[in-house]
Amino acid sequence: MTIQLAKYSFVLALGYWLYQFTQNSFDTFGIQFRFLTHWGISLAMAVHFMNWRRRLAGLPESYHAFNAAVVILNILVVFLYWRLYFINPALVNGDKIPVWHQEYYMHILGPLLLFIDAVWYNRAFRGFMKGCFATICLCLIYIIWLEVLVRPLNSVPVGDVTAGLPYPFLNDMDWGGRQFFYITTTGTGIFAFIICWVIGNVSDRLRTD
Protein backbone atom coordinates (compact mmCIF):
# COMPACT_ATOMS: atom_id res chain seq x y z
CA MET A 1 0.00 0.00 0.00
CA THR A 2 2.75 2.46 0.93
CA ILE A 3 4.71 1.67 -2.25
CA GLN A 4 1.63 2.10 -4.43
CA LEU A 5 0.68 5.38 -2.75
CA ALA A 6 4.13 6.85 -3.34
CA LYS A 7 4.28 5.49 -6.90
CA TYR A 8 0.92 6.80 -8.09
CA SER A 9 1.36 10.08 -6.23
CA PHE A 10 4.67 10.54 -8.06
CA VAL A 11 3.17 9.68 -11.45
CA LEU A 12 0.28 12.10 -10.88
CA ALA A 13 2.62 14.88 -9.73
CA LEU A 14 4.95 14.28 -12.68
CA GLY A 15 2.04 14.45 -15.11
CA TYR A 16 0.83 17.80 -13.79
CA TRP A 17 4.40 19.09 -13.51
CA LEU A 18 4.96 18.40 -17.21
CA TYR A 19 1.52 19.78 -18.08
CA GLN A 20 2.55 23.18 -16.69
CA PHE A 21 5.03 23.62 -19.54
CA THR A 22 2.11 23.63 -21.98
CA GLN A 23 0.14 26.19 -19.98
CA ASN A 24 2.73 28.90 -19.33
CA SER A 25 4.48 31.50 -21.41
CA PHE A 26 8.25 31.27 -21.83
CA ASP A 27 8.70 35.03 -22.23
CA THR A 28 9.11 35.63 -18.48
CA PHE A 29 12.11 34.86 -16.30
CA GLY A 30 11.37 31.89 -14.08
CA ILE A 31 8.40 30.78 -16.24
CA GLN A 32 5.96 28.84 -14.02
CA PHE A 33 8.52 28.51 -11.23
CA ARG A 34 7.80 32.10 -10.27
CA PHE A 35 4.74 30.76 -8.46
CA LEU A 36 4.72 29.10 -5.04
CA THR A 37 2.29 26.48 -6.33
CA HIS A 38 4.88 25.24 -8.81
CA TRP A 39 7.53 25.06 -6.13
CA GLY A 40 5.06 22.99 -4.15
CA ILE A 41 4.35 20.48 -6.92
CA SER A 42 8.04 20.25 -7.93
CA LEU A 43 9.19 19.48 -4.40
CA ALA A 44 6.23 17.15 -3.78
CA MET A 45 7.18 15.22 -6.92
CA ALA A 46 10.74 14.84 -5.56
CA VAL A 47 9.46 13.63 -2.18
CA HIS A 48 7.09 11.08 -3.76
CA PHE A 49 9.91 9.77 -5.96
CA MET A 50 12.32 9.41 -3.03
CA ASN A 51 9.67 7.64 -0.96
CA TRP A 52 8.79 5.29 -3.80
CA ARG A 53 12.38 4.32 -4.56
CA ARG A 54 13.26 3.90 -0.89
CA ARG A 55 10.25 1.69 -0.17
CA LEU A 56 10.96 -0.45 -3.22
CA ALA A 57 14.46 -1.03 -1.84
CA GLY A 58 13.10 -1.83 1.63
CA LEU A 59 14.97 1.07 3.22
CA PRO A 60 13.73 2.83 6.38
CA GLU A 61 11.83 6.10 6.19
CA SER A 62 14.11 9.13 5.96
CA TYR A 63 14.39 12.75 4.78
CA HIS A 64 11.94 13.65 7.54
CA ALA A 65 12.79 17.35 7.82
CA PHE A 66 12.71 17.91 4.06
CA ASN A 67 9.48 15.94 3.72
CA ALA A 68 7.86 17.91 6.53
CA ALA A 69 8.95 21.27 5.06
CA VAL A 70 7.52 20.33 1.65
CA VAL A 71 4.20 19.37 3.28
CA ILE A 72 4.04 22.77 5.01
CA LEU A 73 4.90 24.58 1.79
CA ASN A 74 1.98 22.83 0.10
CA ILE A 75 -0.32 23.64 3.03
CA LEU A 76 0.64 27.30 2.57
CA VAL A 77 -0.18 26.97 -1.12
CA VAL A 78 -3.66 25.68 -0.26
CA PHE A 79 -4.26 28.27 2.48
CA LEU A 80 -3.06 31.28 0.50
CA TYR A 81 -4.67 30.28 -2.78
CA TRP A 82 -8.17 29.70 -1.44
CA ARG A 83 -8.00 32.63 0.97
CA LEU A 84 -7.13 35.02 -1.86
CA TYR A 85 -9.40 33.28 -4.37
CA PHE A 86 -12.49 33.80 -2.23
CA ILE A 87 -11.58 37.46 -1.80
CA ASN A 88 -11.03 37.98 -5.53
CA PRO A 89 -9.96 35.28 -8.03
CA ALA A 90 -7.91 37.87 -9.92
CA LEU A 91 -5.56 38.15 -6.94
CA VAL A 92 -4.12 34.71 -7.75
CA ASN A 93 -5.15 34.04 -11.34
CA GLY A 94 -4.86 37.53 -12.81
CA ASP A 95 -6.82 37.68 -16.06
CA LYS A 96 -6.30 33.98 -16.84
CA ILE A 97 -9.12 31.44 -16.76
CA PRO A 98 -7.87 28.56 -14.58
CA VAL A 99 -8.09 24.93 -15.74
CA TRP A 100 -10.46 23.34 -13.24
CA HIS A 101 -8.83 19.90 -12.86
CA GLN A 102 -5.40 21.49 -12.54
CA GLU A 103 -6.60 23.88 -9.84
CA TYR A 104 -8.23 21.10 -7.80
CA TYR A 105 -5.18 18.85 -8.06
CA MET A 106 -2.60 21.52 -7.24
CA HIS A 107 -4.62 23.19 -4.50
CA ILE A 108 -6.47 20.24 -2.89
CA LEU A 109 -5.71 16.68 -3.99
CA GLY A 110 -1.94 16.91 -4.45
CA PRO A 111 -1.23 18.51 -1.05
CA LEU A 112 -3.67 16.07 0.61
CA LEU A 113 -1.88 13.01 -0.80
CA LEU A 114 1.45 14.44 0.35
CA PHE A 115 0.08 15.14 3.84
CA ILE A 116 -1.38 11.64 4.28
CA ASP A 117 1.85 9.97 3.20
CA ALA A 118 4.02 12.21 5.38
CA VAL A 119 1.94 11.90 8.56
CA TRP A 120 0.73 8.31 8.42
CA TYR A 121 3.44 6.44 6.51
CA ASN A 122 6.67 8.43 6.41
CA ARG A 123 6.14 9.89 9.91
CA ALA A 124 7.91 13.04 8.73
CA PHE A 125 6.98 15.22 11.71
CA ARG A 126 8.89 13.33 14.38
CA GLY A 127 11.78 15.82 14.52
CA PHE A 128 10.41 19.15 15.68
CA MET A 129 13.45 21.44 15.52
CA LYS A 130 14.91 20.13 12.25
CA GLY A 131 11.54 20.16 10.52
CA CYS A 132 10.68 23.65 11.75
CA PHE A 133 14.10 24.95 10.68
CA ALA A 134 13.73 23.34 7.23
CA THR A 135 10.30 24.98 6.86
CA ILE A 136 11.67 28.44 7.67
CA CYS A 137 14.60 27.93 5.27
CA LEU A 138 12.30 26.88 2.44
CA CYS A 139 10.13 29.97 2.95
CA LEU A 140 13.20 32.24 2.99
CA ILE A 141 14.62 30.68 -0.18
CA TYR A 142 11.37 31.35 -2.05
CA ILE A 143 11.20 34.94 -0.76
CA ILE A 144 14.80 35.57 -1.87
CA TRP A 145 14.01 34.02 -5.26
CA LEU A 146 11.08 36.43 -5.68
CA GLU A 147 12.76 39.61 -4.53
CA VAL A 148 16.31 39.14 -5.81
CA LEU A 149 15.66 37.46 -9.17
CA VAL A 150 12.01 37.30 -10.25
CA ARG A 151 11.00 40.92 -9.54
CA PRO A 152 14.06 42.64 -11.09
CA LEU A 153 14.10 40.39 -14.16
CA ASN A 154 10.41 40.67 -15.08
CA SER A 155 8.36 43.68 -16.12
CA VAL A 156 4.89 42.17 -15.73
CA PRO A 157 2.49 42.09 -14.02
CA VAL A 158 2.52 45.80 -13.26
CA GLY A 159 1.12 47.09 -9.97
CA ASP A 160 0.68 50.45 -8.26
CA VAL A 161 4.11 50.25 -6.59
CA THR A 162 6.31 47.78 -8.44
CA ALA A 163 6.24 45.16 -11.19
CA GLY A 164 7.47 41.66 -11.95
CA LEU A 165 6.23 39.76 -8.90
CA PRO A 166 4.05 36.85 -10.03
CA TYR A 167 1.04 37.60 -7.82
CA PRO A 168 -0.64 40.89 -8.81
CA PHE A 169 -1.42 41.96 -5.23
CA LEU A 170 2.27 41.89 -4.27
CA ASN A 171 3.00 44.54 -6.88
CA ASP A 172 0.55 46.86 -5.12
CA MET A 173 2.59 46.69 -1.89
CA ASP A 174 5.72 48.64 -0.98
CA TRP A 175 8.71 46.81 0.49
CA GLY A 176 7.43 47.27 4.06
CA GLY A 177 4.05 45.80 3.14
CA ARG A 178 5.65 42.86 1.38
CA GLN A 179 7.95 42.24 4.35
CA PHE A 180 4.94 42.08 6.64
CA PHE A 181 3.21 39.66 4.28
CA TYR A 182 6.28 37.42 4.07
CA ILE A 183 6.75 37.39 7.84
CA THR A 184 3.10 36.59 8.58
CA THR A 185 3.06 33.89 5.89
CA THR A 186 6.20 32.28 7.33
CA GLY A 187 4.61 32.50 10.78
CA THR A 188 1.53 30.75 9.39
CA GLY A 189 3.83 28.02 8.09
CA ILE A 190 5.39 27.57 11.53
CA PHE A 191 1.92 27.37 13.08
CA ALA A 192 0.90 24.78 10.46
CA PHE A 193 4.05 22.81 11.26
CA ILE A 194 3.15 22.71 14.97
CA ILE A 195 -0.34 21.44 14.15
CA CYS A 196 1.07 18.75 11.84
CA TRP A 197 3.63 17.79 14.48
CA VAL A 198 0.82 17.27 17.00
CA ILE A 199 -1.22 15.26 14.47
CA GLY A 200 1.85 13.18 13.63
CA ASN A 201 2.50 12.37 17.28
CA VAL A 202 -1.14 11.44 17.86
CA SER A 203 -1.12 9.15 14.81
CA ASP A 204 2.09 7.48 16.06
CA ARG A 205 0.44 6.76 19.42
CA LEU A 206 -2.68 5.40 17.76
CA ARG A 207 -0.55 3.13 15.62
CA THR A 208 1.43 1.95 18.66
CA ASP A 209 -1.73 1.28 20.68
What local confidence, expressed as pLDDT, does residue 208 receive? 66
Largest CA distance in the chain: 57
pLDDT per 10-residue tile (average), the chain, 209 residues: 89 94 84 94 96 89 92 96 88 76 92 94 91 97 97 93 93 96 97 95 77
Report DSSP letters for 37-76, one per residue.
Answer: HHHHHHHHHHHHHHHHHHHHTTPPP--HHHHHHHHHHHHH
Count structural domains, the chain.
1
Range of the domain at 24: 2-208
Rounded to two decimals, the pTM is: 0.93
What local confidence, expressed as pLDDT, does residue 209 receive? 58
What local confidence, expressed as pLDDT, does residue 98 receive? 77
What local confidence, expressed as pLDDT, does residue 90 receive? 78
* Amino acid letter, 71: V
CB 65 within 8 A of CB 131: yes
